[in-house]
Chain A
């Protein structure tokens, strides 16, 4: 298979360059329109914050990685880009790279299953743009299947690997049902927003936001259907919350141990989880000395993150096993698309149909006629198969492209159901 792949990722390029070469959905569409028919006959473009990957079957034999690379750099000029910032893959390695990407083992956050959805979306976009064909469609189906298997058959995506998610995982180790709990998020920056979103995803009962700049807090509160508490008042309401997540950019402490103790007294020492994701810290770390206060700062959350990442790394060999199985299946199918075996399979397939019908009906004829019937049916089959056989043989002559041949062969096998009847027979 003549699949080409070009990859720029966290393995090969700094974030500035990855940002410079990032393609939005609109840009991907423009890119596909630009390469379709000229550089690639069919293909796929994936672009996330950590990588841009381009896969495709070359439109003609002169197309190579440099041609694609030059096209990318013409569309998205990046003077800092050097050839070592691009990884090139071909055929089996290109397919393997796609499978590694979709399973998340090539991601910065190993096992990040967001990439699975991003690749799926990219495939849908390629389909929408009619940039997929018989071969790539099979390849992408195999890739999606591989990604699904990696998620369901291994623990590659399990456990929190971001500080904000680790905070929520910790909360779930204390409370069994978050829908009955109340949470306060202090701050309205990116970290606070992610933490608040995670709490919403976990169906937190009541969510409140407080922030020094009221307007910014209000915006976040509105987007998450949360209550906004003016920053000056939040301390007097602290006892109402089971979960407090703080992520402000304050230079000093905003909550002291005494303030927390007083809130705990008001709530009769019901469990309170405090996660301080801010650097420098917002909440007095001595609060952990108070009974039923579960105080955790960024360092302790990082312990969870590191442990989960280590567990995910242990899962890589299991994912690689799945990748190898799926690659083998895909290439076994691909190699079945060669012309000579297909002609034989096609003839066998029709001969079997003829024989089956002959056996079923021969008793309706006299012994003498049965012989004639056999000759006639054989002649009909030969006549039907003459033209397809000639056309198939033509594919092997001249300068026919291998992938185009494979695609045509594949279509013939599919419309006549050659592989299906073979599989049924094997069963």
Chain B
């Protein structure tokens, strides 16, 4: 038991919620009041989170990627961190609340169910596992952000079509920007998932005697990967665009979530460690 880790575990959802509130308030009020301070808030939240992750790694002698709730906290961090980088690069600051809320959900679930695991299977201390999980996590963060921007695209598309010029119309960036951000996030997600799958296919048969290509998680991930691959290729060659690609991205995200939930909590798989 480390009181600092326990404190940060409880404290983190509150920091994410506070950051969300400031981003949301700014979104509703027109993005002028906390235009810089909200970014500072997000930075401090991410800093707190990274300290928490380092403390956990040091205390339990393994990176926090050995079970689904540890992965959820890393995922919460990855999503907000990816958004932070995206905000810095594009200076589009109005979409924060829609991304940070996803981190809040993952972090709350993690905070509630995470346990202090000191004893983990030797297999979970492998470096290859680290690369496999890390690339998968960045991949999932990419497709999550892609889905969020996709959803925002669909909402704005509908609002403009229906002549509704409310807060969404005022505050969101243009449809073209939302589509581009969704597409680029999906490409990053797809590339990282490809790495995760390649490392997995090389390493898993050696590491797990009961490895099977019929594993539900493997099939689920492969389906998600194929879906994104098709979406990206068709968009790249100009066959599909706009809503069609966006819907593909959102569908891929839903499938990825379902696959994770089913394989971790329901199906018997070598991929379930919890």
A residues sitting closer than 8 Å to B (CB atoms) are: 155, 170, 172-177, 268-271, 288, 291-292, 294, 296, 300, 303-304, 307
A14 nearest CB across to chain B (Å): 32
Nearest chain B residue, comparing its CB with the CB of A175: B176
15 additional contacts, CB 8 Å, given A294-B161, A296-B163? Answer: A155-B30, A170-B160, A172-B174, A174-B160, A174-B175, A175-B176, A176-B177, A176-B180, A177-B176, A268-B238, A270-B241, A271-B242, A303-B165, A304-B165, A307-B165
Q: Could you tell me which residues of chain B, from 10 to 37, have a CB within 8 Å of some CB in chain A?
A: 30, 32
State in angstroms the CA–CA spacing of A268 and B240 once bound together: 9
Q: In the complex, A103→B194 CA distance in Å?
A: 58
Residues in A neighbouring B163, C-beta threshold 8 A: 296, 300, 303
CB contact between B175 and one of A173, A269, A296, A300 (< 8 Å): that residue: A173
Bound Cα distance from A291 to B242, whole angstroms: 10
**Beta-carbon contact of A294 and B160 below 8 Å:** yes
What B residues does A177 contact at CB under 8 A? 176
Q: Which residues of A contact B30 (CB under 8 A)?
A: 155
Q: What are the residues of chain A within 8 A of B176 when measuring CB–CB?
A: 174-177, 271
B236-274 contacts to A, CB under 8 A, are: 238, 241-243
Number of residues in B with C-beta < 8 Å to the partner? Answer: 18
Q: Is B156 an interface residue (CB 8 A)?
A: yes
Most chain A beta-carbon contacts within 10 A, residue among B163, B180, B242: B163
10 closest cross-chain pairs (CB), A and B: A300-B163, A176-B176, A176-B174, A176-B177, A174-B175, A304-B165, A175-B176, A173-B174, A294-B160, A303-B165
A173 to B165, CA, bound (A): 10
CA distance A296 to B174 in the complex (A): 17
Asked if B169 lies at the interface with its beta carbon under 8 angstroms from chain A, I say: yes
* A97 to B: closest C-beta gap in Å: 29
Chain B min CB distance to A75 (Å): 46
* Contacts A174-B176, A175-B176; A291 near B243 (Cβ below 8 A): yes
Return the CB mask of B70-85 against A: 1 if under 8 Å, else 0: 0000000000000000
CB distance from B50 to the nearest CB of A (A): 33
When C-beta atoms are compared, the residue in chain B nearest to A273 turns out to be B160
**Residue B173 is within 8 A (CB to CB) of chain A in the complex:** yes
The residues in B between 166 and 184 inclusive whose CB is less than 8 angstroms from any CB of A are 169, 173-177, 180
B242 A269 Cβ-Cβ under 8 A: yes
List, in ascending order, chain B residues with CB within 8 A of A176's CB.
173-174, 176-177, 180
Cβ contacts under 8 Å, A304 to chain B: 165
Residues of B within 8 A of A288 (CB): 161
Indicate if the CB atoms of A174 and B161 lie closer than 8 Å: no
Query: A173 near B156 (CB under 8 angstroms)?
Result: yes
Specify the chain A residue showing the minimal Cβ separation from B32. Answer: A155
CB interface residues, B 207-242, toward A, < 8 Å: 238, 241-242
Given known contacts A269-B241, A294-B160, A175 and B174 CB-to-CB distance under 8 angstroms: yes
C-alpha gap A174/B163 in the complex (Å) = 13
Min CB gap B203→A, angstroms: 42
Chain B residue at smallest Cβ distance from A292: B242
Q: List chain A residues, Cβ under 8 A from B175.
A: 173-175, 271
CA A172 – CA B241 in complex, angstroms? 19
| B31–chain A nearest beta-carbon distance, Å | 11
Cβ–Cβ < 8 Å partners of A174 in chain B: 160, 174-176
Residues of A within 8 Å of B180, CB to CB, are 176
In the assembled complex, 24 residue pairs joining A and B whose CB atoms fall closer than 8 Å, in A order, are A155-B30, A155-B32, A170-B160, A172-B174, A173-B160, A173-B169, A173-B174, A173-B175, A174-B175, A175-B176, A176-B173, A176-B174, A176-B176, A177-B176, A269-B241, A270-B241, A291-B243, A292-B242, A292-B243, A294-B161, A296-B163, A303-B163, A304-B165, A307-B165
Q: Write out the residue numbers on chain A whose beta carbons fall within 8 Å of the beta carbon of B165.
A: 303-304, 307
